[in-house]
Structure 1
Amino acid sequence: MPQSALSICSLQRDNRKNEYRTARIPAHLNNAQHRPLSTPGKPGKSPMDIRFLTFPDFHSVYFYRSITLAILVAIGGLLLFKASAMRLPELLLVGGCLLLMGWRFALEWRRLSKAAPASIHNDELVIGGEGDHRQIPLSSVRSVTSKHSLFMVRRYRSWTEHLAFVEFTLHNGERLYTLAESAVFESPAAKRSLAAIQAAVMAAKVKSAAADSSAALAR
C-alpha cells in the first residue's frame, strides 16, 4: 500500500478516537470551557455596588431640609397657640416629642453641613463639591460607619428614598461625611454600600502594605 494511503488511514483513526473522547465528556463540563466567569453578588449588580449621592442629589436634600424645617416650625407654632387649651400631660407629651424631633433634626443638619458628594476611584476617596475636592488614599481610612437619616431625604414621595450618613474616620482622627442610599430597615444603614466600601478600604490597605514591603526589600 502506498505511504500516502497509510497516512490518510492513520489520520482517520485518530479523528474517530478524538470524536469518541469528546462524546464521553458530559455536556455541562464541555460547555463550561466556553462559559464566561461569573462575578459575586446579585445578577446585574457590580461587586462594588456603592450608592453614593451625586452633587444634584445633595441639592435635593438641601431643598427638602428647608421644607422639613418649615414644617417643624409650623408644628411648634401651632403647639404654642394651642397650649392654653391643652391639659398639662398632653402638653408635656407633645412638647417632649417635638423637642426630640428638633434635637434629631439639628443633629442631622450638623452632619449634613459637614457632608459632601463622594466617590471611590483608583484606591482613593474623592470627596468634595464642584469647585473644591480632596483625594484621600483609602489606606489612610481607619474605619467606616453608617447611620440612618430620619429627616434628611432626597424626596418625600417614597420609602425607597431613605438615606444614610456614611462616616469615614482617618488615622489622624479627622472625620468625613457623605450620603448614600439605604433601605429603611437595613441594619447597618446602607448595608451593601458599607460592605463594598469596607472591602475597598481593606484591599487598598493590603496593596499599600505589599508596596511598602517591596520597597523595604529593595533597599
Structure 2
Amino acid sequence: MKRSPQQNYRATFVHSAKPYAAAGFTFVELVAVIVLISILAAIAAPRFFDLKDDAEAAALQALAGSFSAGVAIGKAQWIANGNSANSVTAVDQRVIIDGVGFNVNRFGWLDSTTLKESQDLTVTGQTARDCQEVFEYILQNPPRNTIAEDFESRRKAKYAVRVVEGSTSDRCRYELVVRAAQSPENAEFYFDYEMTTGRVTVNLPEGL
C-alpha cells in the first residue's frame, strides 16, 4: 500500500525522535559529575578565601595609612602652635584641620571633636565615642562604622570602633568587620591608635 506524503513525514519524525528521547545522563554519570564539581569546589574555595583576605588586608592597610597621616598633621599643627608635652595650656587643647576642631591630649595627639567644658588631657579616659569622632573626621571618606557590639550593628558596618584600656595609655581600635558574628575580642583585621605616642599599628591574621 502506497503511503501519503503526510504518513511518510510522520513516520520519519517518529523514527528520528526515538534516539533523541533516549539521550541524557544516567544516574551513575550524574553522581560522577556532582562528585567532580564538589572536588573542584573544595580545591577552589580556600584559594578564593585567600584572595578575599588579601584584599581585606590591603584595604585595611590603606585606611590605616590615611588615618596615620591625618593624626600626624594634627600633631604637627599642635607643635607649630608652640606646644609640647610639658607645656600645654587650656587654649591650646584644640587644633583645626580642614575646618574641624579636634581636642588633643597632653601629648598633642587627636583625642575627639566634641567641645567639652572640662577637657580631659589624660590618655586613660578615652571612650569609644571619642575614638569614633577622630575616625569620622580625620578621614576624607570614612567608611560606615559603629561603636555597638551587637551582631546587627556589626553586620551593617564596615568598621567597628572600641577602646582598649591600658594602665598607662588607652588605644583606639578600629576593626575591619570581616565576620560580624565574631566577638570584637577575637578580631583579626584591625589597627590600633596609641594615645600616648600616636603610633598606628596594623594587625592581620598570621600568614598575611
TM-score by length of 2: 0.32
Indicate the structure whose relative CO is greater, using CA pairs within 8 Å and at least 6 residues apart: 1
